[in-house]
């Protein structure tokens, strides 16, 4: 079954993000293929095109930096945490008991079990090939929009997302498995997320120290674009303008010279 794609909406969203947020990398469209849906044209499957398996965060970085459209299924994944989170492999006892975090992220296995339990996960029925592409190259209808930026750019998008709702955005952080936060948590909560790039995203995805991610459900696109425009009109801008309407105070010797200028005029 072929998907319908509202290309005009994706182009308008990309234009709004480029104008009001100015991200350094491509904003992304993400979808998890449902059973019976066909792969769109012109997507790279890592195990076929490159003969390699990658982590989801590597795929995200390839899409947002190279401009590639990727399809990542079970056979494309190398990261064992992502294999479980995205429903491609069973949650084995070795994983559930905290073995992967023990001594690295947590003091004990028991504590690690709490961390692993907190990772958002798809069931086997919910799992599917993950499609990732820049907005203007997406040959599919996205479920999640993801944008990487610095903290000021993420703040700008938070303001836009709250423009028509008010209130606050609630997000949680574990320093692990940010791919699950970007895709799974956004889809399951149907709410925007502020995402702290995990350690793996920095090591393998090569995400920079200054970068964070922000996601919104695709269903919020209209309200989000309205929020970008509305908050811009209201004075919330990026780059954030600095306040310059003040008279500077200089060192004493400088001020003495200024006083001498006044004396000369007299």
What is the residue extent of each domain of the chain?
7-88+122-265
Mean pLDDT (whole number) for 124-136: 97
Cα–Cα dist 236/20, whole Å: 10
What count of residues does the chain have?
Answer: 266
Q: pLDDT digits over 195-205, tens only?
A: 999 999 999 99
pLDDT at 220: 97
Is the pLDDT reported for residue 41 higher than 60? Answer: yes
Listed in sequence order, the residues at least 6 apart from 3 whose beta carbon sits closer than 8 Å to its beta carbon are: 31, 37, 38, 40, 140, 141
pLDDT at 265: 60
pLDDT at 5: 81
Mean pLDDT (whole number) for 109-128: 97
Mean pLDDT (whole number) for 129-144: 97
Mean pLDDT (whole number) for 159-176: 97
| Tokens 């064992």 -> residue | 80
Mean pLDDT of the chain: 96
Mean pLDDT (whole number) for 147-164: 98
Q: pLDDT digits over 52-84, tens only?
A: 999 999 999 999 999 999 999 999 999 999 999
pLDDT at 6: 84
pLDDT at 28: 98
Question: Could you tell me if 128 and 74 are in contact, meaning their C-beta atoms sit under 8 angstroms apart?
Answer: no
Model confidence at 1, pLDDT cuts 50, 70, 90, reads low
pLDDT at 2: 59
Q: pLDDT digits over 184-227, tens only?
A: 999 999 999 999 999 999 999 999 999 999 999 999 999 999 99
């Amino acid at each position: 079954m072929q998907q319908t794609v509202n290309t005009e909406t994706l182009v308008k969203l990309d234009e709004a993000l480029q104008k009001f947020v100015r991200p350094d990398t491509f904003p992304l469209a993400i979808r998890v293929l449902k059973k019976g849906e066909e792969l769109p044209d012109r997507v790279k499957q890592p195990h076929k095109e490159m003969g390699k398996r990658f982590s989801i965060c590597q795929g995200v970085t390839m899409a947002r930096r190279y401009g590639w459209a990727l399809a990542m299924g079970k056979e494309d994944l190398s990261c064992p945490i992502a294999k479980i989170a995205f429903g491609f492999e069973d949650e084995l006892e070795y994983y559930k008991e905290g073995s992967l975090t023990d001594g690295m992220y947590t003091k004990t296995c028991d504590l690690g079990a709490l961390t692993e339990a907190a990772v958002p996960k798809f069931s086997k029925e919910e799992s599917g090939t993950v499609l990732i592409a820049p907005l203007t190259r997406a040959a599919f209808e996205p479920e999640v929009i993801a944008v990487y930026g610095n903290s000021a750019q993420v703040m700008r998008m938070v303001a836009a997302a709250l423009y028509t709702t008010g209130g606050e955005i609630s997000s949680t952080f574990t320093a692990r498995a940010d791919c699950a936060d970007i895709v799974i948590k956004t889809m399951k909560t149907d709410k925007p997320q502020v995402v702290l790039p995990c350690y793996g995203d920095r090591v393998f995805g090569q995400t920079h120290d200054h970068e964070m991610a922000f996601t919104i459900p695709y269903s919020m696109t209209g309200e989000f674009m309205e929020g970008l425009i509305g908050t811009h009109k209201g004075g919330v801008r990026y780059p954030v303008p600095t306040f310059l309407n003040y008279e500077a105070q200089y060192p004493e010797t400088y001020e003495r010279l200024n006083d001498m200028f006044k004396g000369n005029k007299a």
